């Protein structure tokens, strides 16, 4: 049996909470039986509570890429003009689905260490009044950067456009919710900040998005990419579209119980404090964050540039083999340039910042780089000693985006 490393500080998948793993061993329920139907309605209700949404969310059985593709297939039609906002690898990738399902796709792209500027979105909407849909990735994980989702959502609402947001690696780790951010289709994951296992996508869909999807002649039905198939799945007595992934649902149920019982604000604080302590340690080691300013760095991942003269994989392997700390490599454009320390779910535990920084300082020394592990550990600890940072809010102000 493969053994997980002692400290899995990855950016997804992440270590699942023990209570999640225990719940996955609960008995399989028959989907036609009322016990399952009640259980399923309860889980959907808990997702709604966590998402703070007025409408019932949908849970798709597949990891988050399924939900993102299904959102494109269901909401975007041939008559749509899509504004795809690109500040990183996932944002860029969304353009492929938008082009497959949409009429025209306009891209607004910034360097992958920066955030989308809401003012530029406003100008793009003025330029093209025929834009009907905006696609945006909230936290583009390969860069560790946050986009000003609520500002973009508000602009879209004023314009009359719909927003599809990828909140896969931010939801559950900070204050981001579909209704508050004016997001119409909000895609989240069980396997990142919620600390469940991979396999389920959580999608918040508001009433206006449902109406739009139903009116979209190109929206699929009887398909794994269909959202319509799931609209009524949580109503009593409705047959389930496919055989439910029971173990995953049980795990998600436990993850939601943990999230709601700990208190979302406390969970976000845990993410924010871990990130702040990690960044204090990184700075003390002389390492630079990949995001151009700390103000746009997400609380769920610290992405830093690998110092010159050191290979990313050598540093990753030293961290793992010598110290049992597993971090993520870069991805796409950031591959080879960065390493990523995840602060998600059980990994968002403040003292784990100290673990990561101690291991990183030691690994860098081993590879011949400068940097004093002791000083860096002290810096991380000092950050933990200080007042708790306010939980990071869902919005990134324009000033912050331009700050350096
Ligand atoms: C992880 C991630 C995804 C994909 O999620 P999977 O569960 O790997 O399919 C999509 N978007 C972002 C921003 C992510 O971090």
Q: Each residue of 115-166: pLDDT tens digit?
A: 999 999 999 999 999 999 999 999 999 999 999 999 999 999 999 999 999 9
For residue 189, give the ligand 1 atom closest to its CA: 7
The answer to whether 259 touches 252, Cβ cutoff 8 Å, is: no
Alpha-carbon span 372 to 329, nearest angstrom: 23
| Biggest alpha carbon–alpha carbon distance for the chain | 65
18-260: CATH number: 3.40.640.10
The average pLDDT across 229-233 equals: 85
The pair phi, psi for residue 30, each rounded to 5°, is -80, 130
| First-to-final CA distance of the chain | 47
Query: Does residue 59 sit in helix, strand or coil?
Result: strand
342 lines ligand 1 (CB under 6 A): no
Report CA(376)–ligand 1 centroid distance (Å).
31
The average pLDDT across 71-89 equals: 98
Which pTM does this prediction carry?
0.95
12 lines ligand 1 (CB under 6 A): yes
63 lines ligand 1 (CB under 6 A): yes
Report CA(187)–ligand 1 centroid distance (Å).
10
The pair phi, psi for residue 133, each rounded to 5°, is -140, 140
Mutation choice for ligand 1 from 12, 92, 172, 345, CB with most ligand atoms inside 8 A: 12
Question: Where residue 173 falls among pLDDT bands split at 50, 70, 90?
Answer: very high
Both tokens of 319, joined, read 């961290």
The average pLDDT across 214-224 equals: 94
Alpha-carbon span 253 to 50, nearest angstrom: 11
For residue 167, give the ligand 1 atom closest to its CA: 13
Alpha-carbon span 223 to 219, nearest angstrom: 10
398 pLDDT higher than 90: no
Within 10 angstroms of residue 28's Cβ, the number of other Cβ atoms is 11
- What is the pLDDT of the chain when averaged over all its residues? 94
> What pLDDT is recorded for position 390?
60
Which fold is adopted by the domain 7-11+264-400? 3.90.1150
Q: If residue 202 lies in a helix (H) or strand (E), which one and from where to where?
A: strand 200-205
Does 80 sit behind a cis peptide bond, omega within 30 degrees of 0 on the bond before it? no
> What pLDDT is recorded for position 389?
65
168 lines ligand 1 (CB under 6 A): yes
Both tokens of 252, joined, read 């998600």
214 pLDDT higher than 80: yes
199 lines ligand 1 (CB under 6 A): no
The answer to whether 327 touches 10, Cβ cutoff 8 Å, is: yes
137 lines ligand 1 (CB under 6 A): yes
Question: Where residue 371 falls among pLDDT bands split at 50, 70, 90?
Answer: confident
Query: Does residue 146 sit in helix, strand or coil?
Result: strand
Alpha-carbon span 129 to 161, nearest angstrom: 9
Alpha-carbon span 239 to 156, nearest angstrom: 36
Question: Where residue 376 falls among pLDDT bands split at 50, 70, 90?
Answer: very high
170 lines ligand 1 (CB under 6 A): no
List all residues 6 or more positions away from 3 whose beta carbon is below 8 Å from its beta carbon.
none
For residue 201, give the ligand 1 atom closest to its CA: 7
Among 89-98, 156-165, 309-318, 382-391, the range scoring the smallest mean pLDDT is 382-391
Do the strands 200-205 and 58-61 form a parallel or antiparallel pair, or are they unpaired?
antiparallel
69 lines ligand 1 (CB under 6 A): no
The answer to whether 381 touches 134, Cβ cutoff 8 Å, is: no
> What pLDDT is recorded for position 233?
80
Burial of 308 (0-12, 13-18, 19+ CB in 10 A): exposed
β-strand partners of 105? 82
Best CA proximity match to 91, nearest among 132, 52, 149, 50: 149
Report CA(194)–ligand 1 centroid distance (Å).
13
β-strand partners of 82? 105, 133
List where CATH 3.90.1150.10 sits in the chain.
7-11+264-400
Report the residue count for the chain: 404
Phi-psi region of 141 (alpha: psi -120 to 50; beta: other; left: phi over 0): alpha
Both tokens of 232, joined, read 């009524």
List where CATH 3.40.640.10 sits in the chain.
18-260
64 lines ligand 1 (CB under 6 A): yes
Q: If residue 145 lies in a helix (H) or strand (E), which one and from where to where?
A: strand 145-146
Best CA proximity match to 62, nearest among 255, 253, 223, 236: 223
Q: HEC states along 334-350?
A: HCCCEEEEECCHHHCCH
Among 5-19, 228-242, 303-317, 326-340, the range scoring the smallest mean pLDDT is 228-242
198 lines ligand 1 (CB under 6 A): yes
The average pLDDT across 53-58 equals: 96
156 lines ligand 1 (CB under 6 A): no
Nearest protein Cα to ligand 1, atom 5: 64
The average pLDDT across 221-240 equals: 86
66 lines ligand 1 (CB under 6 A): no
């Amino acid at each position: 049996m493969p053994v997980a490393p002692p400290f899995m500080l990855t950016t997804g998948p992440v270590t699942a909470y023990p209570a999640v793993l225990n719940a996955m061993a609960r008995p399989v329920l028959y989907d036609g039986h009322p016990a399952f139907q009640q259980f399923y309605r309860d889980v959907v209700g808990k997702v709604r509570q966590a998402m703070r949404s007025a409408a019932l969310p949908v849970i798709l059985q597949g990891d988050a890429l399924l939900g993102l593709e299904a959102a494109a297939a269901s909401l975007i039609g041939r008559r749509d003009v899509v504004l795809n906002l690109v500040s990183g690898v996932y944002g860029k990738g969304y353009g492929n689905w938008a082009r497959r399902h949409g009429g025209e796709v306009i891209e607004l792209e910034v360097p992958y260490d920066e955030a989308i500027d809401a003012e530029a979105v406003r100008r793009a909407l003025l330029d093209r009044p025929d834009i009907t849909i905006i696609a945006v990735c909230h936290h583009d994980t390969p860069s560790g950067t946050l986009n000003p989702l609520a500002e973009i959502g508000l602009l879209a609402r004023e314009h009359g456009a719909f927003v599809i947001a990828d909140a896969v690696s931010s939801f559950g780790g900070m204050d981001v919710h579909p209704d508050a951010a004016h997001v119409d289709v909000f895609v989240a994951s069980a396997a990142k900040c919620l600390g469940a296992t991979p396999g389920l996508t959580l999608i918040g869909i508001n009433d206006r998005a449902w109406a739009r999807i139903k009116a979209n002649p190109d929206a699929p039905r009887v398909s794994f990419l269909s959202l319509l198939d799931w609209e009524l799945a949580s109503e009593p007595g409705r047959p389930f579209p496919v055989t439910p992934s029971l173990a995953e649902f049980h795990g998600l149920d436990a993850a939601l119980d943990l999230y709601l019982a700990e208190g979302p604000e406390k969970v976000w604080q845990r993410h924010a404090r871990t990130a702040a302590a990690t960044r204090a340690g990184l700075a003390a080691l002389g390492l630079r964050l990949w995001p151009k300013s700390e103000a746009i760095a997400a609380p769920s991942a610290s992405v830093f540039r690998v110092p010159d003269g050191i290979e990313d994989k050598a540093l990753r392997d030293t961290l793992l083999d010598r110290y049992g700390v597993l971090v993520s490599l870069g991805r796409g454009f950031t591959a080879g340039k960065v390493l990523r320390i995840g602060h998600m779910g059980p990994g968002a535990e403040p003292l784990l910042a100290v673990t990561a920084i101690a291991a990183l300082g030691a690994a860098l020394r081993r590879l011949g780089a400068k940097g004093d592990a002791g000083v860096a550990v002290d810096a991380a600890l000092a950050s933990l000693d200080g007042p708790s940072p306010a939980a990071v809010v869902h919005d990134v102000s324009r000033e912050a985006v331009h700050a350096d």
